[in-house]
């Protein structure tokens, strides 16, 4: 398993890319609903905080198998959260593209 430090950097990178997509849409698409995009951005920031806290407090520190399972679940949750946020952002863009 990679280090917790690398995992935290990955969380920062992936969620910051999703957040930058939100601000990119706000900057270059004047027709999009700003409030909805800001809500999506807020969800991304909240998920970032949650994932960072989970990364530094694993369950079952004594059992390596539990720790590995815990971090796999954390990574899966991160990917699901980013995917759902980008799907919501895409839906907002599609509303104004018609």
State the average pLDDT over residues 7-18. 96
Domain count, the chain: 1
pLDDT per residue as tens digits for the range 24-83: 999 999 999 999 999 999 999 999 999 999 999 888 788 889 999 999 999 999 999 999
* Cα distances (angstroms) measured from residue 9 to each of 16, 27, 28, 32, 52: 10, 26, 28, 31, 9
pLDDT recorded at residue 1: 55
Domain containing 59: what range? 4-97
| Gap between the Cα atoms of 88 and 16, Å rounded | 16
Written as six digits, the tokens of 59 are 């369950």
DSSP for 45-97, please give it: HHHHHHHHHHHHS-S-TT-HHHHHHHHHHHHHHHHHHHHHHHHHHHHHHHHHH
């Amino acid at each position: 398993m990679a280090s917790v430090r690398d995992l935290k950097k990955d969380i920062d990178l992936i969620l910051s890319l999703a957040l930058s997509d939100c601000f990119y849409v706000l900057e270059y698409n004047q027709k999009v609903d700003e409030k909805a995009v800001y809500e999506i951005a807020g969800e991304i920031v909240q998920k970032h905080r949650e994932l960072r806290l989970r990364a530094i407090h694993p369950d079952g520190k004594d059992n390596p198998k539990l720790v590995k399972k815990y971090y796999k679940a954390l990574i899966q949750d991160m990917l699901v959260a980013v995917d759902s946020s980008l799907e919501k952002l895409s839906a907002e863009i599609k509303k104004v593209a018609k």
